[in-house]
Amino acid sequence: MPRLGVNIDHVATLRQARGEFYPRLDHAARICLENGCDQITIHLREDRRHIQDQDVFDVKKITDQFNKPLNLEMGCAEDILDIAKEARPSWVCLVPEKREEKTTEGGLNLLDKSQYDKVKKTCDALKSSIDGVKISLFLEANEKINDMAIQMGSSIDAVEVHTGDYAKAYLENNDWNSYLTQFENTYNKLKSKGIHVHAGHGLTFESTGPLVEQALFEEYNIGHWIISQSVFEGLDKVVRQMVSLIKR
Ligand code: PXP
């Protein structure tokens, strides 16, 4: 059964916009978990534009209460690594990070040797300091990059495939079907090597449908659309809708 991780970064975006104590992240995490999501995902960015250091610990308390994973997205910066070691999330998703980007714009470029080495070093540091931590790498569905992920061996547990370009093509009614073939190839290759395959970025209720129908992923991490839609419908209802789509 595929899993839904709700990314609650943009609850923090609203809070940070006014420098208030609301809306509370722990409250958002609780509502998502009470309404059937499988994990909470947050991205502690180097510029702290939404999630703050204390949020990682506050949200971890809630995921622990529900006995569900916290999935911490992060770049390979030393200070973030130190916070991860202290907060001990169940999953870490390593992502590339540029300060000037509006959001994560693509996967890690493992074809670049210095990036590959940095990612590998971060994976090994996480694995040796957090008992049982699982690691995913945020990557494009690209054959050469998949090969580099496979080379990482036991340093990683999963690949989270960047679905942003697919989701944009879907929204704009461009040729989104070709992405499904890439996703299927990636799924088959990685699974044959024992690597789990997750999806994330830019997904909406509509664009998630074809991925679920073709059983292309084991986990979906979805944030911006869920938080945006909850302005109109409420977070509890939107999470329930997404859970029923993913688990139908
Ligand atoms: N997965 C990863 C690795 C991400 O960087 C993000 C955005 O923070 C998401 C999933 C969620 O993307 P969205 O907010 O567009 O649903």
| Residue owning the nearest CA to atom 15 of ligand 1 | 202
Ligand 1 centroid from CA 124, angstroms: 23
Instruction: Work out the pLDDT band at 191, boundaries 50, 70, 90.
Output: very high
Quick one: average pLDDT of 87-106? 85
Catalytic residues: 43, 73, 201
For residue 99, what are the contacts with CB-CB under 8 A and spacing of at least 6? 46, 47
Q: What is the predicted pLDDT for the residue at 99?
A: 65
Averaged pLDDT of the chain: 96
| pTM confidence score | 0.97
Atom of ligand 1 nearest to the CA of 93: 3
pLDDT greater than 80 at residue 101:
no
Q: How confident is the model at residue 238, as a pLDDT? A: 98
Extract the tokens encoding 80.
Answer: 């973030």
> From ligand 1's centre to the CA of 202, what distance in Å?
7
Its sign, for the CA torsion 227, 228, 229, 235, is positive
Q: What is the pLDDT of residues 203-243, one digit of tens each?
A: 999 999 999 999 999 999 999 999 999 999 999 999 999 99
Q: pLDDT digits over 35-88, tens only? A: 999 999 999 999 999 999 999 999 999 999 999 999 999 999 999 999 999 999
**Interval between CA 121 and ligand 1 midpoint (Å):** 23
Q: Which two tokens stand for residue 31?
A: 């509502």
Cβ neighbours of residue 115 closer than 8 Å, sequence gap 6 or more: 96, 108, 109
> Nearest Cα to 184, choosing from 240, 146, 233, 226?
146
Residues lining ligand 1, judged by CB closer than 6 Å? 7, 9, 43, 73, 93, 95, 103-104, 138, 160, 200-203, 221-225
Single out the residue of 139, 186, 133, 144 nearest to residue 165, CA to CA: 139
The parent domain of residue 86 ranges over 3-247
Out of 23-32, 103-112, 176-185, which region has the weakest mean confidence (pLDDT)? 103-112
Q: pLDDT digits over 10-42, tens only?
A: 999 999 999 999 999 999 999 999 999 999 999
The CA distance from 149 to 139, in Å, is 9
* 51 Cβ contact list (under 8 Å, min separation 6): 9, 12, 25, 42, 43, 44, 45
| DSSP letter, residue 216 | -
Give how many domains the chain has, as a whole number.
1
Q: Is residue 248 scored above 90 in pLDDT?
A: no
Q: What is the pLDDT of residue 129?
A: 97
Pairing of strands 219-222, 3-7: parallel
Cis peptide before 23, with omega less than 30 degrees from 0?
yes
Average pLDDT of span 112-118:
97
For the stretch 193-206, pLDDT in tens is 999 999 999 999 99
Separation between Cα atoms, residue 90 and residue 142, nearest integer Å: 27
Beta-strand runs (E) in 9-57:
39-43
> Read out DSSP for 129-175?
HSTT-EEEEEE-S-HHHHHHHHHTGGG-SEEEEE-HHHHHHHHTTS-
Percent of the chain at pLDDT above 90? 96
Atom of ligand 1 nearest to the CA of 201: 12
* CA 167 to ligand 1: nearest atom: 15
For residue 163, the domain's CATH number is: 3.20.20.70
